[in-house]
Structure 1
Amino acid sequence: MSDLLSIGYSGLRAYSRAMSTVGDNIANAQTVGYARRTLALREMASGTESALVGRNVSGGGVTIGGLDRSVDKWLIDDARVSAGDADRAATRLSWMTRVEGALSDDSNGISTNLTKLFTTADQLTADPNNPTLRAQFLQSAADIATGFRDSAGQLSGMADGISGAAQSSVSELNANLDALEGINAGLRKARPGSTNEASLLDERDRLVGAISSQMAVTPSYDDKGTVTLRATSSGDTLVGGGTVTHVAVTAAADGRLSFSAGGAAIDPGSGNLAGLGQAADHVADQRAGLDAAAAQFAGQLNAAHQAGIDANGNAGQPLFAGTTAATLTATPLSADQVAAANASGSNGNMLAFGAMRGANDPEAAWSGRLAMQAQATASARAQEAAAWTRADGAAAARDSVSGVDLDREAADLLRFQQAYSAAARTIQVARETMQALLSAI
């Protein structure tokens, strides 16, 4: 009789806990980083031994073996790595799109005003003494210089923005590293198979994933589930042995970023920080290219204008001053100082301006720069789309194992409810039997 009561009691306790576990799964079906849990149940054997029949083993109820998390380490690692690659591509594309906007004609009008400058020069060949056309020629030059300065200012602002975003991201990364070491400390004390251990393991995996979204890391685990985290590029330990090594970022004068951990240089490899580093390099290259374009453009047009003669018979003056895009300005000239003439005639220099148009003229050079930026942005966009496709596939594969399926949970809940009712009925039968025996005495 006592065995019957024990069997019933063990069933009530086990199936109550099992229904609670199913309830946790249902409640956390949409919780990021939650891995489905199952309660490990196994038979609890009991037995007797005698000289005649030897060992006699019979069922003694059910016992709880602890909580199991439905996880696949390979799928988790694959999802983590692919998500880091996608974050790098997305961050890089975001800033490259802004660079494309800063260089576009809609933003600075350089292409439009270059065309206007040469068109006005063509018009001056027919009417070289027209003061209105002369003023339009000078205004187009001033607008071009303004466009270069605007683009330089936007690129400079982007460099500052990338540096600020990197500092913020590194601060978040270091906070996650500290939190991960706190999780390690909790796992060392957690009881195996407990709800607390499962929650700590979920948070551990979430933090490792969050860190991977910022830089490439390689985790390794001990038998307690604590993680040692190393930078993939250098192998330097970031978390492990009870210590945390923080990451630092430094911006150079041109905006390029460098990263270090404990004073040693590291390469983020993937994730948000890698994307910011690549974006910073691209912006720095574009700033240098813009300065070179401004200097070349000013040099070509200054030389062409100085080769002519103005309306007062004086040699042409430089149209532009400044050696970089940020310092490029139009020389303050009057309409009479436009050097439309040369030794060959009153419109000779404007004819020479028109002859500049070709494969290496300022218009073609600027159009080529815009085309290269557009091509680089399109390539980055294609890479980002491919990276997210892979990341989404890896996440779906991981969730097929770790995710909560409400239909499956509903079936399990019904099964455990019926088992709980059966255990309760076992106790009731034992009680009624005992009552009948007592009544018969």
Structure 2
Amino acid sequence: MSDLLSIGASGVRAYQTALSTVGENIANTGVAGYVRRTTELREVAVTGGSARSVEGNGVIVGGVVRQGDVYRSQAVRQSSADLGRTETSATWLGEIESAMTGNKLGDRITDFFTAGRSLAADPTSVPSRAVLLEKAQGAATAFRQTGQALARATEELNASAERSVSTLNSLGTALAQVNDGLGRAQPGSSQAAQLADQRDQLLDQMSAITDVSTQFDALGRVQVKLGDTSGPVFVAGTEAGRVSFNRNEDGAVSFAVQRSGEPDVLTPGGGALAGVVEGAARLVAATKRLDEIATSFVTQVNAVQQNGADLDGVKGEKLFEPGDPPTAMTLATTDPRKLAAAALGSPAGSRDASNLAALETARNSGGWEAGITAVVTDNAAALEQKKLVADAQGAIRDNAVAARDSASGVDLDVEAVELMRFQQAYQASSRVIQAARDIFQTIIEIR
């Protein structure tokens, strides 16, 4: 009789746990990061001297099992890292495009030379000289503002990298705490399943910042390397390292991980950090090219100006004051009469415009407008390519998420079937207990 009661009681306890698991699944439908659980049920094992198998001794809960798929989860993290790299790189290409086109530098340079051509038609016209001086000021301002825009983009990139590194360090600390919790939690418990959900969410967030490689132990604790399988260890057990961001005098970006002892170099192959590396390189190249154009422009225009005679027949003085950086140029004169339109040796008030012809020659040989256009065009082509790649990688990531969720997500239809099944099993176990009680009462009454 006691066996019948214990069988029924074991069923009630086991199916109550199973019902709780189903209820938890239903309650968390659509919750990001939640992985469906199932209850593992086992037959009660018989202990004793007999080695033969005896069936019909009840049921016990073997544990709560997460329906996660390690390989599909890894595919999501890898695709997230790829997408994060491309999107971040595209962001900084967009910043470069805005900086190079926002102040219409190419147009301002063209306006300057167009005004020079107009002055050549009447070199003694003070109003025309004033227009040329105004356009020179416009070109200098456009150079300066474009250089400042690139400098701001560089500062924003540095700040963005620092924020990403700070977030990554916070995630590493949180993951180490989750590892500690997994080491303390009872394997197969709801607590262990919940901690595993948190672990996977942290890994997903990390993969958007940099590519990660993982290794799990029997308790579900994870060791994380950054970069690739040969990269530095970031999280091991309950210990998390610290990622640092550095930038040298040449503008090159580097990252390092320090967990114990000397820092190890981190070479991100994916995620926002890899996009920062690409963006920094693009910004350095654009800034360097713009500085070269500015230096050449100031040097050659000043050389032409100083090789001619102004309206008073005096040797011309430099038109632009070089800056540091080169784009920080300023106008060296505000007097229209000092513009050297004529050749050296021309008398005051000369209508000679040969030095303006030399200015046009310098324009053609300098190729400053073409240089600006080339920077903008090359950057625009790279940006468009990144956008196309991002679209493809976004689709890959969406497919990876869908594949993962198909294996680990909650399906209400499935849960409804499970709910009915375990309800019926629970009711059947209750009836076994009731039947045992009735039989026991009958026996007592017989006696």
For normalisation by structure 1, the TM-score amounts to: 0.91
Out of 153, 159, 178, the position equivalent to 1:183 is 178
Deviations 1:374-423 (A, max 9, x none): 11222222222222222222122111111112222222122222222222
Q: Is the 8 A contact 2:147 2:328 kept in 1?
A: no
Q: Is the 8 A contact 2:177 2:238 kept in 1?
A: no
Query: Which letter does structure 1 place at the counterpart of 2:183?
Result: R
2:249 corresponds to which residue?
253
Q: Is the 8 A contact 1:96 1:282 kept in 2?
A: yes
Query: Which letter does structure 2 place at the counterpart of 1:301?
Result: V
Please list, as runs of the form range in 1=range in 2, the aligned pairs for 1:395-406 lying within 5 A after superposition.
395-406=401-412
Of 109-118 and 251-260, deviating more is: 251-260
Q: Does 1:83 align with 2:80?
A: yes
Q: What is the alpha-carbon distance in structure 1 between the residues aligned to residue 280 and residue 45 of structure 2?
A: 66
Q: Is the 8 A contact 1:181 1:239 kept in 2?
A: yes
Deviations 1:11-49 (A, max 9, x none): 211111111111111222233222111001133366999
Q: Secondary structure at the match of 1:38?
A: strand
Out of 44, 53, 61, the position equivalent to 1:64 is 61
- TM-fit CA distance, 1:357: 5.5
Query: Which letter does structure 2 place at the counterpart of 1:230?
Result: K
Q: Does 1:102 align with 2:103?
A: no
Q: Does 1:427 align with 2:425?
A: no
Q: What is the alpha-carbon distance in structure 1 between the residues aligned to residue 279 and residue 366 of structure 2?
A: 29
Q: What is the alpha-carbon distance in structure 2 between the residues aligned to residue 317 and residue 48 of structure 1?
A: 110
Please list, as runs of the form range in 1=range in 2, the aligned pairs for 1:42-441 lying within 5 A after superposition.
42-44=42-44, 57-104=54-101, 107-233=102-228, 234-240=230-236, 242-262=238-258, 263-323=263-323, 324-342=325-343, 346-355=352-361, 358=364, 361-441=367-447
Q: Does 1:30 align with 2:30?
A: yes
- TM-fit CA distance, 1:207: 2.0
- TM-fit CA distance, 1:354: 4.0
Query: Which letter does structure 1 place at the counterpart of 2:86?
Result: A
Q: Is the 8 A contact 1:40 1:67 kept in 2?
A: yes
Unaligned runs of 5+ in 2: none
Q: Secondary structure at the match of 2:342?
A: coil
- TM-fit CA distance, 1:258: 1.6
Query: Which letter does structure 2 place at the counterpart of 1:297?
Result: F
Q: Is the 8 A contact 1:256 1:281 kept in 2?
A: yes
Q: What is the alpha-carbon distance in structure 2 between the residues aligned to residue 47 and residue 176 of structure 1?
A: 47
Q: What is the alpha-carbon distance in structure 2 between the residues aligned to residue 371 and residue 307 of structure 1?
A: 34
For normalisation by structure 2, the TM-score amounts to: 0.90
Of 92-101 and 426-435, deviating more is: 426-435
Of 68-77 and 233-242, deviating more is: 233-242
Query: Which letter does structure 2 place at the counterpart of 1:264?
Result: D
Q: What is the alpha-carbon distance in structure 2 between the residues aligned to residue 138 and residue 56 of structure 1?
A: 104
Q: Is the 8 A contact 1:163 1:255 kept in 2?
A: no
Q: Secondary structure at the match of 1:57?
A: coil
Of 91-100 and 405-414, deviating more is: 405-414
Give the direction of change, closer, same or farther, for the CA distance of 1:241–1:25 in structure 2 (3 Å limit): closer
Of 34-43 and 420-429, deviating more is: 420-429
Give the direction of change, closer, same or farther, for the CA distance of 1:391–1:143 in structure 2 (3 Å limit): same
Q: Secondary structure at the match of 1:315?
A: coil
Deviations 1:138-157 (A, max 9, x none): 11111111111111112212
Equivalent residues, number? 436
- TM-fit CA distance, 1:292: 0.8
- TM-fit CA distance, 1:126: 2.2
Of 358-367 and 314-323, deviating more is: 358-367
Q: What is the alpha-carbon distance in structure 1 between the residues aligned to residue 446 and residue 365 of structure 2?
A: 115
Q: Secondary structure at the match of 2:56?
A: strand
Q: Secondary structure at the match of 1:58?
A: coil
- TM-fit CA distance, 1:245: 2.5
Q: What is the alpha-carbon distance in structure 2 between the residues aligned to residue 123 and residue 361 of structure 1?
A: 20
Q: What is the alpha-carbon distance in structure 2 between the residues aligned to residue 29 and residue 151 of structure 1?
A: 51
Q: What is the alpha-carbon distance in structure 2 between the residues aligned to residue 228 and residue 56 of structure 1?
A: 42
Q: Does 1:10 align with 2:10?
A: yes
Q: What is the alpha-carbon distance in structure 2 between the residues aligned to residue 359 and residue 275 of structure 1?
A: 37
Q: What is the alpha-carbon distance in structure 1 between the residues aligned to residue 339 and residue 359 of structure 2?
A: 12
Q: Secondary structure at the match of 1:248?
A: strand
Query: Which letter does structure 1 place at the counterpart of 2:342?
Result: A
Q: Is the 8 A contact 1:134 1:338 kept in 2?
A: yes
Query: Which letter does structure 2 place at the counterpart of 1:417?
Result: Q
Unaligned runs of 5+ in 1: none
Q: What is the alpha-carbon distance in structure 2 between the residues aligned to residue 55 and residue 268 of structure 1?
A: 59
Q: What is the alpha-carbon distance in structure 2 between the residues aligned to residue 271 and residue 49 of structure 1?
A: 60
Q: What is the alpha-carbon distance in structure 2 between the residues aligned to residue 410 and residue 19 of structure 1?
A: 11
Give the direction of change, closer, same or farther, for the CA distance of 1:128–1:40 in structure 2 (3 Å limit): same
Give the direction of change, closer, same or farther, for the CA distance of 1:351–1:385 in structure 2 (3 Å limit): same
